[in-house]
Every structure is written in C-alpha cells, then in structure tokens.
Structure 1
Amino acid sequence: MSTIETKLAELGVTLPDAPAPAANYVPFVQSGNLVHVSGQISNGPEGLIKGRLGDTMSVEDGAKAAKTCAIALLAQLKAACGGDIDRLVRVVKLNAFVASAPDFHDQPKVVNGASDFLVEALGDIGRHARSAVGVAALPLGVAVEIDAVFEIA
C-alpha cells in the first residue's frame, strides 16, 4: 500500500475506483507535470448527495459532501498516475461549486470540508489555492462539485 493510501486508511478512507465520465469528456488530462481532474460530484455510500445549501442542507452537511468530492478527486488522480498516487507532488488548485440558496454566503465553509480533508490526509502538499463559488444548480441535483489541478512527479 502506498504512503498516501496508508494515511488515508488511518483516517478510515479507502479510495474508490475512479468514476467514469458521465458525458463527452475525459476524467483527467495530463499536461507536463500537471494533472487536471474533471469535476467530481458529491456522492456517498448511499448515493448522490443532493440539496441546496441555505435551503435543504446545513453547512456541516455541505462540508461532508465536499469531502466526498475530494476523495473522488484523489481516486481520479490515482488512475491518472497509473495506480501510483505517491507520485503526487502537491495539490495546486481546487475550483469548487456549491448549490446555494440566493441568500447563502458560506460557500467557503462548505468547501473547507474538502480543503481540510486534503491537508489532513496529505500534510503540506495538500495545501492549495482555491475558489468557492455559489451556483443556482448543479448536475443531477448534487450539492457540491469540485475540479482540481495536481502536480505529479
């Protein structure tokens, strides 16, 4: 087991198989040492995590949904690295989209669910730049979608 996967196991996380794309796009693109991973939607053991923050979901529930996106991002990264996730040099950037009621303004607190998890799991290489954007709706009614850029060796 890789060093990163050992740390994930200590946190009670096992990377799932990388989800297949749902339309006419690829799950990731490598350009040089950068891997751009397509948006991963909030999806847990019981299925899609749906809702709208400030309406049908709390910030805490949104943060848990964002964490599931981060786990899926790492699963895609592992696939991009041919199964060797220890090639990860650092998380560069997250672009996060949060389904939000018009008067909801805590998108950064929701996205902290992904950011905090990546730092806990990866240490300093998990620290990243990010955007946290509120949107009216996301595909399939999910609460959160996040894409990412990773640097690999």
Structure 2
Amino acid sequence: MCIYDQLQALNIELPPVRTPAAAYAPYAQTGQLVFISGHTASKNGQPWTGKLGKTMDTAEGQQAARAVAIDLMGTLQAAVGGDLNRVKRIVKLMSLVNSTEDFTEQHLVTNGASELLAQVFGPDKGAHARSAFGVAQVPRGACVEIELIAEVE
C-alpha cells in the first residue's frame, strides 16, 4: 500500500506547512537528510496546552503526539516537493513532553507519534530512532513538541 493510500485509509488529511513562530526555517535539507523543525501540538488551530501528570494523562498526551506527527508529515511533504513516496525512511524523532517532575511516561506519550509514522510509512520506513524528554515547559504552553529527521531519495 502506498503512503497516500494509507493516509486515506486512516482518514488523515495533511495540513500545509505552518508559519514558523520565531526565527527559523520549518525544514532544512542537507544531502539525503531532511530535518523538520520542532512542531508543537495544536488542537482546532490553537496550541494544545497542558502539562502531563497535572492537567493531562498519558492517553491524551498520545493523542497530542499523534496530532504533531500529522503536522510533521505535512511539513515533510512540502520538504520533498509534495511527494512523500520520496521518503526512504524516518530516521529519528526527538520529543519534548511538557510534564511534571514526577511524570515518567514521556516514552509512552511519544508512542502516539511513533506508532502513526509506522502505520503510514510501514514497519521498515517508519521505524526510527527516538529520544523522549520530560521538560518544564514547551513554547506557547503546548503539551508536546516533536522534531523529525528523514532520509529521502
């Protein structure tokens, strides 16, 4: 199944690239690697705010991370000239989870993004290295921020 068939089967429509909130580019490419800048979680066009372990639970955090993955794929699509079939593999994610000091399930929150990428790109192209950190704050009070590195043709 091609990537776009999988997106359609999952009822996912990729958004356009968001305008950066500060002085950075949404993506950069060097050689065959595309680096997608950190994307914060949003819900209904607004920052998806919250702190894991205080105002949000792991399941809601996973939903937010999944939403970030959809935004990341929209930006990745723009970075590869509109054709996600040019993606050879997702190389790495780095996830920053806005969480309390005693919250320890950042890795489970980030599964919301990782599992969706594996569904869309398949087990070979979608499997990736990953880091998931708990942080005191994320820009605009968002609950999750994730950046992505992909290898492209």
Same fold at TM > 0.5? yes
Give the corresponding residue for 1:71.
70
CA distance in 2, matches of 1:12, 1:43: 18
Question: What residue in structure 2 maps to residue 131 of structure 1?
Answer: 131
C-alpha distance in structure 1 between counterparts of 2:131 and 2:137, whole Å: 17
| Equivalent position of 1:9 in the other structure | 8
Structure 2 Cα separation of the partners of residues 82 and 21 of structure 1: 19
Matched with 2:95 is 96
For 1:25 and 1:48, locate their aligned partners in 2 and report how far apart those are by CA, in whole Å: 19
Q: Sequence identity, in percent?
A: 43
Unaligned runs of 5+ in 2: none
Distance across 1 between alignment mates of 2:84 and 2:46: 25
Q: CA deviation at 1:12?
A: 1.1
* Structure 1 residue aligned with 2:147: 147
Q: TM-score, normalised by structure 2?
A: 0.96
Find the residue that maps to 2:66 and give its secondary structure: helix
Equivalent residue, structure 1, for 2:118: 119
Stretches (4+) displaced over 3 A: none
Mapped partners of 1:47, 1:27: distance in 2? 18
Q: Structure 2: which amino acid aligns with 1:24? A: A
Q: Describe the superposition over 1:34-69 as per-residue Cα deviations: whole angstroms up to 9, x where unpaired.
A: 000000110123522110000000100000000111
Distance apart, 1:151 and its partner CA: 0.3
- The CA distance in 2 between the partners of 1:97 and 1:36, in whole Å, is 16
> Which residue of structure 2 lines up, in the alignment, with residue 82 of structure 1?
81
Question: How many aligned residue pairs are there?
Answer: 152
Check conservation: 1:5, 1:14, Cα contact below 8 A: no
Partner of 1:110: 109
